Amino acid sequence: MKELNIHIDIRIFPYEELNAADRELIDAAREATFRSYSPYSHFSVGAAARLADGTIVCGSNQENAAYPSGLCAERTTLFYANSRYPDQAVKTLAIAARNEQGEFLEDPIPPCGACRQVMLETETRYNQTMRILLYGSKGIYEVKKVGDLLPLSFDASAMQ
């Protein structure tokens, strides 16, 4: 028998230690939570992507009474970025969430599996890693690339 160990480095920063560009992106993700349409879960998620040219695009979760018809903030953001700016790689994606009481979460929330897969495809599309910032009021997680969130991932190479 062999054993495979997967190691992931995640750095945790207080908001004040982030550089100005990362604070701006976190602030945009936090602001996007207020545009969430979440009448069923009352869980508001916002995401902001900084593109290679410095443009920031945002999205928020959009729910629907027919639950599978809704969409997460990460995917609304990436799909918008990829369709509106098809020649601009996503350099960094920031994600923030507020609970039913309207408070930002103390601990960062990770993206769901479907969002991780879309994030991986975005990296593949541009052949560049995408850095992820997960906001929590007690600290921001920095993940250097999507593969760190999705080890043993499925991509086009798996179909060969």
88 is in an annotated binding site: no
Pairing verdict, β 140-143 and 131-134: antiparallel
65 is in an annotated binding site: yes
97 phi, psi to nearest 5 deg: -145, 150
Question: Cα angle vertex 110, ends 107, 112, to 5°?
Answer: 145
82 is in an annotated binding site: no
Measure the CA–CA gap between 33 and 27, rounded to whole angstroms: 10
- Which residues make Cβ contacts (< 8 Å) with residue 160, sequence separation at least 6? none
In DSSP terms, 96 is beta-bridged to: 46
Token pair belonging to 5: 């160990």
66 is in an annotated binding site: yes
61 is in an annotated binding site: yes
62 is in an annotated binding site: yes
- 74 an active-site residue? yes
Q: What is 36-90 written as a DSSP string?
A: -B-TTT--EEEEEEEETTS-EEEEE-B--SSGGG-B-HHHHHHHHHHHH-TTS-E
**Which residue in 3, 16, 17, 74 is the catalytic one?**
74
Binding-site residue numbers for Zn(2+) are 72, 112, 115
Active site residues: 74
Binding-site residue numbers for substrate are 61-67
Binding-site residue numbers are 61-67, 72, 112, 115
